Structure 1
Amino acid sequence: MRATANSEYGAADQVDAVRTADPLGADLACRDLVRMNQRADVAALVRGLRALLPELDRVARFTDDECLAAMRDLGMFLGSIKRHGTEPAEAVPEAVPVLAELGRRTGMVPRDTVLHYCVWNPDGVRRRTYTGDAQERVLQDSVRHVFPALRTALEGCDELARADPADARFAELVRMIDGHVAAMVESIDLVLGEVGPVFFARTLRPYFEEITFGGVTYLGPAAAQVPLWLVDEAVWLADDSGDYARFLHESVPYTLPRWRALHARWRGTSSAVTRLVRTVEEAGGVDRAGPGARAGADALVGLLRTLITFRGRHFRIARQAYREDVRLYAVGSGGASIDLLHQVLLLTRQNARMVRAVT
């Protein structure tokens, strides 16, 4: 019988367990990674990846937390090798079955994601970075900071998806979600203040390139993998079928199993905005729709305003980093274009106007 994780993915004790774990004995190799990248020493990176690879029978004895930690550390070498122009699976083909087994064991894609790179990354001198630059640490910390709040917000969204807009509980849930989503604004402000767009575009972004093996291409760690889009889905996107919804279909595999289950449950249902607007219109007015309808509408406007604030600042950062005279890539590592980010901002504003209109 294989060992299992301490608790559900994303719980505080589980995050700590993965950060602490070093099943491949990779601490020293990951400290050397910065030097290898500075020298663009592909040969050393290939040797480093090959040296870290565990045998499959050893992987079978890993706990789930150790599997996540192993993928985190192998992923740092995958991204580094690809950044310097070599497809890692071609340079180290024996890595492919190990990556596939780690993905199978954890129920995730067979490469590292933004969660491996940021949330499950150790603290202090054990922190895994590509560049060693303080700006890279700030970017990682921005995701680490928001993860607990966003996880709680998503559990609130799960209840919200079943809540009656006319009931007082609906407004309570929306306000709770809003309070946690506000951490995203704090996070983006940290990035705006301390991470230069040129550093991100020219120094860091190349480490997040896609890799290909087994005939399948896997995206690198990306902001799009932080599941604020799941909040969008519960609040206003579930019954939409536009470009954003289609883009998110490609992001779903890079999330936790629990979050994929939420997406499957919500997709094609009526969002909170749709349900509230329908409830008010069918009742003939917000004050006829039930005692909680006006409070629910006001709370939704507040939550959408928070989402608009975040989306506006994210769009500003991305526009700076992907200017033609700065960028090395036309789209983000998650595949989103600047035009798509702008479209999401406009759609969120449109939904806020819809809710305000019924009140």
Structure 2
Amino acid sequence: MHPAVEPPVTVIRELRAALDQAFSAPGADARADELLAGGGAGLPDAHPAILDHDAVRAADPLGLDREFGELPAVNAAGDARTLLGWVRTAARRGDPGWAAEDAVAALRDAGMLLASLGRAGVDPSVAAPEWEPLLTAWALRTDMVPRDTVVHYGFWNPVGDRERRFLDRGPQEGALIQSVRTSCRLLPLAGTALDVSWRCGPTSPAGLAALAVMRDAVVAFAGEFARVRQIVDPHFFIEKLRPFFEPITVAGNPWSGPAAAFIPLYLVDEALWGGGEALAAMHAEALRYGRPEWRRARERMAARPALSTWLEAGERGDHTPELATALELTDSAVHALLRFRGQHVTTARRAYSDQDSAFRHGSGGFVPEDLKRVVDDERAAATGLHAAEQRAGA
């Protein structure tokens, strides 16, 4: 049982251990939620119960483990009849009153089946309208959208033989799923570390230790994307996987499918370097499809100036070794994000440049030039930050 408020040094030690151990300790994901919810100070007494993520991954509330083992072959055959049978049978097993963990798992599994049905050419909202009240109830129970998201597809996907996939057991889809698992851990951890740094003072010893954790988490996130880029061919994604990520209609409203644009970069970007109009539009949409804990944390962080802006203002005053270190750590994190975004733009352009492709935008609704505008804004912020770092270190 953790106390309501943790000393900063204890929190920083926990964040560092989670990062170094790749969240392998039992309950690590739930503990990370507690720290994020408490702004790096533990879990406030009034906060809702933390989700048991391990229970979500273990859950099979719709009884579909066997069907998911067969789903790649059924999808390869485009067997709409089998998919429709599974969808209708699973709907009869659904319970709108399920607790949060089962509701999350049900959204994950139902969403993947409905997406598969849509890819086979059958509109699930027409062929299986019985899903609408179930999806709506589970969305209300979990405070999320009424379908599967990138978080369901990656972070809450079982590991091992029960992993849910649209395609076969080849390395490419598996690498994408794992990258989402990793990103949904590293980015909230980086956001918590930023919270701790503000709580302590970014140039205090504890604040600098927290910034070092933040920097390492962001660098690890960028490295994960670089790794996936070496495994996943953009044309494989656009031709094989992208058709499963089309919108589905629930209660008359279209809801986007899992999208890389919806990973929780909003827990880092504005707090770290500020953002711009292009990023604000992208993050506003991503927040709709994110976890409620992430939305609450982002709202809390929005009250502060960007760390880079605060440090640059400090640099115009007295130069101290601590300020120089804080600028160096922040600059390193911003440049890691820039490397990621530059690679993302290149990959997106390759994926969506094929004139024969049916797709011209990502599953989140954005086009490569939207990503490029964010890169331009961040590069401008990075230039000013780097100049301040150079002056402080002179």
Normalization by structure 2: what TM-score?
Answer: 0.81
Counterparts of 2:345 and 2:32 in 1: how far apart (Å)? 27
How high is the sequence identity, in percent, across the aligned residues? 33
Question: Which of 150, 158, 168 in structure 2 is aligned with 1:132?
Answer: 168
Tell me what 2:255 maps to.
218
Alpha carbons 2:108, 2:148 under 8 Å: kept: yes
Taking a change above 3 Å as real, the CA distance of residues 241 and 268 of structure 1, as seen in their structure-2 partners, is farther
Q: 2:227 corresponds to which letter in structure 1?
A: L
Counterparts of 2:140 and 2:287 in 1: how far apart (Å)? 16
Question: Which of 70, 88, 110 in structure 2 is aligned with 1:32?
Answer: 70
Tell me what 1:106 maps to.
142
Tell me what 1:345 maps to.
375
Alpha carbons 1:71, 1:99 under 8 Å: kept: yes
Alpha carbons 2:202, 2:211 under 8 Å: kept: no
Alpha carbons 1:182, 1:306 under 8 Å: kept: yes
**Per-residue deviation at 1:197?**
1.2
Taking a change above 3 Å as real, the CA distance of residues 326 and 185 of structure 1, as seen in their structure-2 partners, is farther
Cα-to-partner distance string for 1:272-324 (whole Å, 9 max, x where unaligned)? 1121122333x2x5x1xx55222111111111121112112222221211113
**Per-residue deviation at 1:340?**
1.5
Choose 223-232 or 143-152, whichever is displaced more.
Answer: 143-152
Q: Does 1:301 align with 2:347?
A: no
Counterparts of 2:264 and 2:288 in 1: how far apart (Å)? 11
Counterparts of 2:374 and 2:356 in 1: how far apart (Å)? 23
Q: 2:288 corresponds to which letter in structure 1?
A: P
Counterparts of 1:161 and 1:202 in 2: how far apart (Å)? 44
Cα-to-partner distance string for 1:13-41 (whole Å, 9 max, x where unaligned)? 93322111111111012122222211212
Tell me what 1:257 maps to.
292
Q: 1:334 corresponds to which letter in structure 2?
A: G
**Per-residue deviation at 1:208?**
0.5
Cα-to-partner distance string for 1:89-137 (whole Å, 9 max, x where unaligned)? 1111110000011111111111101111111111222111111141111
Q: Secondary structure at the match of 1:148?
A: helix
Q: Secondary structure at the match of 2:132?
A: helix
Q: Secondary structure at the match of 2:63?
A: coil
Alpha carbons 2:51, 2:100 under 8 Å: kept: no
Q: Secondary structure at the match of 1:354?
A: helix
Alignment coverage as a number of residue pairs: 345
Counterparts of 1:275 and 1:194 in 2: how far apart (Å)? 39
Choose 340-349 or 7-16, whichever is displaced more.
Answer: 7-16
Counterparts of 1:157 and 1:54 in 2: how far apart (Å)? 45
Long gaps (5+) in structure 2 = 1-26, 34-49
Alpha carbons 1:174, 1:296 under 8 Å: kept: yes
Taking a change above 3 Å as real, the CA distance of residues 110 and 225 of structure 1, as seen in their structure-2 partners, is same
Q: Secondary structure at the match of 1:93?
A: coil
Alpha carbons 1:161, 1:266 under 8 Å: kept: no
Tell me what 1:207 maps to.
244
Counterparts of 2:377 and 2:129 in 1: how far apart (Å)? 44
Taking a change above 3 Å as real, the CA distance of residues 69 and 77 of structure 1, as seen in their structure-2 partners, is same
**Per-residue deviation at 1:180?**
1.0
Tell me what 2:313 maps to.
278
Question: Which of 141, 145, 155 in structure 1 is aligned with 2:182?
Answer: 145
Alpha carbons 2:263, 2:286 under 8 Å: kept: no
Q: 1:15 corresponds to which letter in structure 2?
A: H
Tell me what 1:22 maps to.
60
Alpha carbons 1:166, 1:291 under 8 Å: kept: no
Tell me what 2:120 maps to.
84
Tell me what 1:41 maps to.
79
Tell me what 1:3 maps to.
none
Counterparts of 1:219 and 1:42 in 2: how far apart (Å)? 21
Q: 2:222 corresponds to which letter in structure 1?
A: V
Taking a change above 3 Å as real, the CA distance of residues 199 and 128 of structure 1, as seen in their structure-2 partners, is same
Counterparts of 1:229 and 1:84 in 2: how far apart (Å)? 34
Q: Secondary structure at the match of 2:273?
A: helix
**Per-residue deviation at 1:161?**
4.8
